[in-house]
Amino acid sequence: MKTKALKIVATAVILLGSVGGLMYVSLAEGTEYYKHVDEVMVNPAAWHDKNLQLHGFVVDKSILRRPDSLDYRFEVQNKGQVVQASYTGVVPDTFKGGSEVVLKGRLGPHGFEVAPNGVMAKCPSKYEAKTFGTPGS
């Protein structure tokens, strides 16, 4: 009777360990962090080669485009911290100096490498709802 209980416990431990290990490996590969530039640039080495969504603002006059290509280099900043970014692809119409962006990609030793279709520029404030004065004014 004791050996039967021991076999059941051993089987349960093996199954739970296998499921836990599988979940860990699956989630570790698919994890994507949402961070602001200033949070990442405090300790950039800690974020190297991790999937990130990086939030910040395009530095004015920092956008450079290689002639006759879709290769871009630009800077993104938040709260005084700046990171270099590189991207190859079509950028949204709202992508310009001062615009708020979220970039998907990975941070490396030479800056943030934006993934294909990884530039999301937020809509400018002209699309925000207008507020009205108090009633009767």
Query: What are the sequence ranges of the domains in the chain?
Result: 1-31, 32-124
User: Taking Cα atoms as reference points, which of 88, 85, 89 lies closest to residue 103?
Assistant: 85
**What average pLDDT score do residues 80-95 get?**
95
Q: How confident is the model at residue 5 (pLDDT cuts 50, 70, 90)?
A: confident
CA angle 56, 29, 43 (to 5 degrees): 40
Could you tell me the pTM of the whole model? 0.71
How far is Cα 47 from Cα 43, in angstroms, rounded to an integer? Answer: 7
- The overall average pLDDT reported for the chain is 86
- Chosen CATH of 32-124 out of 2.40.50.140, 3.90.640.10, 3.40.640.10, 3.40.50.360: 2.40.50.140
Q: How confident is the model at residue 77 (pLDDT cuts 50, 70, 90)?
A: very high
pLDDT above 70: residue 96: yes
**What is the percentage of the chain residues whose pLDDT exceeds 70?**
84
Judging by beta carbons within 10 Å of its beta carbon (0-12, 13-18, 19+), is residue 77 exposed, middle or buried?
A: middle
